[in-house]
């Protein structure tokens, strides 16, 4: 019994320490934004790397997400005969929930993991110490540009992903559920899903923020050479996935409360 | 002048520095020697605040820097540049971008202006022809030269070299040695060089301190080192495997 309580206590303390460290990193990043003390060139590079290089996987994910939603809802409405709800059901699920989450998870796997690996490698090869030795603050130079890039780019990628998810849904509706593309898209627009669309974009930004803080934290605290980098990437991907679902829950709750 | 006064440092159970006191005079080339794991790199990293001592005090030009915050240390680091053992050039940047970075950040130059000035520093270390290459494209010796050029962009009064010739071929090592000597003789910089390269030690150093078991075993000129009767120092500088020198224990072995 004592052992269980001790283990529970140790894990709780470890979790609180981790959350505290991430909150502190978030605070340091926020402080660097007012007044702006980040590197414009590095920020531009981060935007390119995070955004431009991510859009193919986002488009791919979104196309299939839309398609899957139509297949699932199409199966249900075929039974009930409510074919006019296919566009609404698929649009609602994609724009408000499934789209941002799946794009966020893909983004975390590609960009977040890459960020942790890059920063971790910089730590173990003393490049971060070299920055400090050159009197350049690593948080300002490395973390802030990535933070900005991930928030802005995940917002934009979610917007792009929504578009392609609807295209994917429309094609699938035409080919597999016998609902012409025009009819499907009309259903989506008639459903007046602007609120869901904005909610999804907001979620995208929060997911970007969560992935940035988590991946930068794990990257900048790497210990133990290449093995340490591997461990950090692994931990960052898991933690970012959890952070995405937690952020999804809280943004959804706050949005619902404020919408009443 | 740099002064370490009774500096202590331990990592967990492992004591690395025990009441180390050392003075580096302005304009000299000061070598800190000792076997691997003797605490040489640990000692110099304290000077630029990359490590903090457990005890003791550190002075730079009569100002105590021991308790400075990370932000306050940035002022010290502009005055006291460090060239790391592994060069630590930034992988994602070309060589000229690496050298231009401190110019852009501290002198607020535009990228093109910074790169134009960086070319001058690369020329000093004969690396201007490879300016557009990435660190991964060149060898260790060339990377070290670029790292030296990058450190000099801040026009530091002090330059710390952490094992600058380790892993270099004899000619590349001799080039780096000459550069360190020139920094002192021509530009009046003070150099602190961590090394166990015996050839460098006796061709470049003005004064030498040897660390052994976390303490300063001998502090003197190259002539004093050559003439010492201390068996441990003699064994080290003569590179003999047998003698009174006790090699650091490897934990877990």
Question: Which residue do the tokens 């295209």 mark?
Answer: A167
The answer to whether A126 contacts chain B (CB < 8 Å) is yes
In our burial notation (b when 16+ CB lie closer than 10 A, e otherwise), range B65-103 reads: bbebeeeebbebbbebbbbbbbbbbbeebbbbbbbbbbb
**Helix A86-93 with A144-176: angle, nearest 10 deg:** 160
B199, part of any domain: yes
| ipTM for the predicted complex | 0.87
Angle at the Cα of B91 from the Cα atoms of B86 and B95, rounded to 5 degrees: 85
- CB-CB contact of B106 with B78 (8 Å): yes
The whole-number pLDDT of residue B248 equals: 67
The whole-number pLDDT of residue B249 equals: 61
- Please name the residue of chain B whose CA is at the shortest distance from the CA of residue A123: B88
Cβ neighbours of A223 in B, within 8 Å: none
- CB-CB contact of A229 with A120 (8 Å): yes
CB–CB of B88 and A137 under 8 A? no
The whole-number pLDDT of residue B169 equals: 83
- Please name the residue of chain A whose CA is at the shortest distance from the CA of residue B153: A134
The whole-number pLDDT of residue A235 equals: 95
B210, part of any domain: yes
Q: In degrees rounded to 5, what are phi and psi of residue B38? A: -80, -10
The whole-number pLDDT of residue B218 equals: 93
B243, part of any domain: no
pLDDT tens readout for residues A199-239: 999 999 999 999 999 999 999 999 988 999 999 999 999 99
Angle at the Cα of A130 from the Cα atoms of A127 and A133, rounded to 5 degrees: 160
Segment B199-205 mean pLDDT: 88
Q: Which domain holds residue A93?
A: 39-255
Q: 3-state class of A38 per DSSP?
A: coil
Q: Write the CATH number for B94.
A: 3.40.50.300
DSSP readout, B4-52? EEEEEEEETTEEEEEEEEEEE-TT-EEEEE-STTSSHHHHHHHHTTSS-
A 43-62 → B contacts, CB under 8 A: 45
Total structural domains within chain A: 1
Cβ neighbours of B84 in A, within 8 Å: 126, 129-130, 133
pTM to 2 decimal places: 0.87
* Residue to substitute from A28, A134, A139, interface B, most B β-carbons within 10 A: A134
Q: 3-state class of A109 per DSSP?
A: helix
Torsion over CA: B214, B219, B221, B222 (sign): negative
Total structural domains within chain B: 1
Cβ neighbours of B70 in A, within 8 Å: 132, 137
Facing residue for B84 by CB, picked from A45, A130, A141: A130
Percent of chain B with pLDDT over 70: 98
Cβ neighbours of A127 in B, within 8 Å: 88-91
Least Cα separation, residue B207 to chain A (angstroms): 25
* Residue to substitute from A49, A130, A141, interface B, most B β-carbons within 10 A: A130
A3, part of any domain: no
B250, part of any domain: no
CB–CB of A135 and B90 under 8 A? no
Least Cα separation, residue B43 to chain A (angstroms): 15
Residue B115 has pLDDT above 90, yes or no: yes
B252, part of any domain: no
Cβ neighbours of B105 in A, within 8 Å: 39, 134-136, 141
The whole-number pLDDT of residue B253 equals: 38
Q: 3-state class of A158 per DSSP?
A: helix
Facing residue for B77 by CB, picked from A39, A133, A141: A133
B108, part of any domain: yes
Question: Which residue do the tokens 């000229």 mark?
Answer: B96
Q: 3-state class of B86 per DSSP?
A: coil
A22, part of any domain: no
pLDDT tens readout for residues B99-108: 999 999 999 8
β-sheet bridge partners, residue B211? B216
pLDDT tens readout for residues B34-54: 988 888 999 999 999 999 999
Segment B121-134 mean pLDDT: 92
The answer to whether A37 contacts chain B (CB < 8 Å) is no
pLDDT tens readout for residues B157-199: 999 999 988 878 888 888 889 889 988 998 889 999 999 888 8
Q: Which domain holds residue B192?
A: 2-38+45-238
Give CA B194 to chain center in angstroms. Answer: 5
Residues 6 or more apart whose CB falls under 8 angstroms from that of A58 comprise A103, A106, A107, A157, A160, A161, A164
B244, part of any domain: no
Cβ neighbours of A132 in B, within 8 Å: 48-50, 70, 77
pLDDT band per the 50, 70, 90 thresholds, residue B252: very low
Which segments of chain A have a pLDDT < 50?
none
A16, part of any domain: no
B53, part of any domain: yes
CB–CB of A129 and B84 under 8 A? yes
């Amino acid at each position: 019994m004592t052992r269980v309580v001790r283990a529970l206590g140790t894990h709780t303390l470890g979790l609180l320490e981790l959350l505290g460290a991430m909150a502190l990193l978030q605070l340091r990043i926020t402080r660097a934004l007012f007044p702006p003390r980040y590197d414009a060139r590095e920020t531009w590079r981060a935007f390119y790397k995070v955004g431009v290089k991510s859009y193919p996987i986002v488009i791919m994910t979104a196309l299939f997400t839309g398609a899957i939603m139509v297949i699932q809802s199409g199966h249900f409405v075929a039974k009930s005969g409510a074919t006019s709800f296919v566009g609404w059901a698929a649009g609602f699920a994609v724009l408000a929930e499934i789209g941002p989450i799946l794009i966020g998870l893909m983004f975390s796997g590609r960009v977040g993991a890459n960020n942790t690996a890059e920063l971790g490698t910089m730590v173990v090869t003393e490049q971060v110490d070299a920055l400090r030795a050159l009197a350049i603050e690593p948080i300002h130079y490395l973390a802030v540009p990535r933070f900005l890039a991930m928030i802005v780019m995940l917002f934009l990628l979610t917007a792009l992903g929504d578009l392609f998810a609807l295209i994917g849904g429309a094609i699938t509706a035409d080919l597999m559920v016998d609902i012409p593309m025009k009819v499907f898209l009309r259903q989506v627009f008639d459903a007046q899903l602007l609120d869901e669309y904005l909610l999804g974009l907001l979620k995208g930004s929060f997911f970007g923020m969560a992935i940035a803080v988590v991946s930068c934290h794990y990257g900048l605290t790497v210990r133990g050479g290449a093995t340490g980098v591997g461990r950090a990437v692994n931990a960052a991907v898991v933690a970012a996935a959890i952070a995405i679902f937690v952020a999804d829950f809280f943004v959804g709750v706050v949005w619902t409360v404020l919408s009443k | 002048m740099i002064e370490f006064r009774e500096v202590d440092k331990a990592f967990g159970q492992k004591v690395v520095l025990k009441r180390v006191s050392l003075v580096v005079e302005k304009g000299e080339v000061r070598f800190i020697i000792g076997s691997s794991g003797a605490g040489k790199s640990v000692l110099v990293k304290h000077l630029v605040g990359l490590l903090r001592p457990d005890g003791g005090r550190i002075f730079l030009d009569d100002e105590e820097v021991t308790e400075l915050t990370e932000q306050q240390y940035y002022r010290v680091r502009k005055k006291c540049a460090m060239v790391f053992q592994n060069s630590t050039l930034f992988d994602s940047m070309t060589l000229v971008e690496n050298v231009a970075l401190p110019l852009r950040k501290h002198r607020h130059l535009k990228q093109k202006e910074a790169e134009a000035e960086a070319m001058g520093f690369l020329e000093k270390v004969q690396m201007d022809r490879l300016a557009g290459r990435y660190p991964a494209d060149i060898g260790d010796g060339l990377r070290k030269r670029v790292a030296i050029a990058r450190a000099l962009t801040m026009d530091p009064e002090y330059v710390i070299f952490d094992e600058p010739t380790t892993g270099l071929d004899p000619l590349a090592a001799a080039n780096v040695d000459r550069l360190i000597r020139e920094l002192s003789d021509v530009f009046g910089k003070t150099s602190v060089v961590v090394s166990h390269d015996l050839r460098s030690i006796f061709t470049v150093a003005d004064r030498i301190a040897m660390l052994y078991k976390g303490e300063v075993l001998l502090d003197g000129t190259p002539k004093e080192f050559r003439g010492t009767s201390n068996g441990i120092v003699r064994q080290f500088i003569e590179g003999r495997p047998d003698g009174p020198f006790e090699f650091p224990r490897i934990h877990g072995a």
